[in-house]
Chains A and B, each alone.
Chain A
């Protein structure tokens, strides 16, 4: 090997530094998406922030076990889905406790729309449609809601959704079909 191209042996500290930098990059790029998924699932900004923090804390602890079988985003989504499941399970178990929740109602959630070039009538129509989708989402089971949000908010492919949820692609399709059926029913009810 030529003297000019000699590669120094990587020390343990250097490897750790590289891993930390890589993890920081992943946090920076994926954090908004994880937060958005949790916010759409829970409709609670504070809780979504807390669970997002928990998600990356868990990911950091298990970062060395991440083998790269799936994408980092899918791996993080799997952690977020599990945290969300734990949260709902705890709420069901502790149903007698008067837990303080900051979840916004559906009307308030439907108020959010980007400032486009649409006129007032179009904005109102869009707001109504969003409200109907929220109404349909509210009636979905936990699994159907997760699949629906991953598909139509996070725009994940069926394969990725199957990886993140641990379901088969066929089951994901079935859940999506039922969820869309409910949204159609809601939209049809407005006519």
Chain B
């Protein structure tokens, strides 16, 4: 190379040093590029890295899809559960309303108030108890009237004659 073209007005020592430095620089670049040019290529390594990257992206994709599906299933199940609970509550409320209506209709006909000792009995059981008490009270009344009639007829037979006659008249007619 013609160094004379590139020389400046610097001192000869400086120019010599510059020339040496540039020669060393070129020799260094030759050595580096020669070594890099003839180095073994890492094509297989790149392929392996590529495979790993593909596997990782597939795994990530699968995780995302599975997560989405699981989320969707969870939402559906949650909604179904909520609907079931709501239906159960509505049915319970309707039953309570029916019971309350039955209680309201049964209360005016009862002869005496039903004693609720525990206060925890169900309305249906209370209604049954009320009707049983009414039946027993009616039977007691009839027994009492029959015993009075028999006592009167035994003690005072004449007192019962008009009544017996009246009954006979009714039977002949």
Contact = CB atoms under 8 A, between A and B. Distances in A.
B18 A112 contact: no
Contacts of A151: 6
Contacts of B18: 180, 183-184, 187
A36 B30 CA distance: 7
B22 A152 contact: yes
A181 B161 CA distance: 161
A77 interface: no
A167 interface: no
Contact of A187 (B5, B8, B17, B37): B17
B29 A187 contact: no
A130 B25 contact: yes
B36 A133 contact: no
Interface in A152-191: 152-153, 155, 158, 176-177, 180-181, 183-184, 187-188
Given A133-B21, A133-B22, A112 B29 contact: yes
Interface in B15-62: 17-18, 20-22, 24-37, 39
A166 to B, nearest CB: 21
B26 A114 contact: no
Contacts of B29: 36, 39-40, 112, 153
B1 interface: yes
Contacts of A155: 1, 26
A55 interface: no
Contacts of B167: none
A181 to B, nearest CB: 8
Contact of B26 (A110, A134, A153, A181): A153
Contacts of A45: 36, 39
B27 A113 contact: yes
Interface residues of A, number: 32
A77 B136 CA distance: 124
Contacts of B20: 129
A173 B2 CA distance: 14
A152 B20 CA distance: 12
B155 interface: no
A48 interface: yes
A132 interface: yes
B25 A39 contact: no
Contact of A48 (B5, B22, B36): B36
A32 interface: yes
B28 A188 contact: no
B14 interface: yes
A177 B33 CA distance: 26
Contacts of A188: 14
A180 B8 contact: yes
Given A35-B37, A177-B8, A187-B14, A112 B24 contact: no
Contacts of B33: 32, 35-36, 39-40
Given A112-B28, A155-B1, 13 more contacts: A32-B34, A35-B36, A39-B33, A40-B33, A110-B28, A114-B31, A133-B22, A152-B25, A152-B26, A183-B18, A183-B21, A187-B14, A187-B18
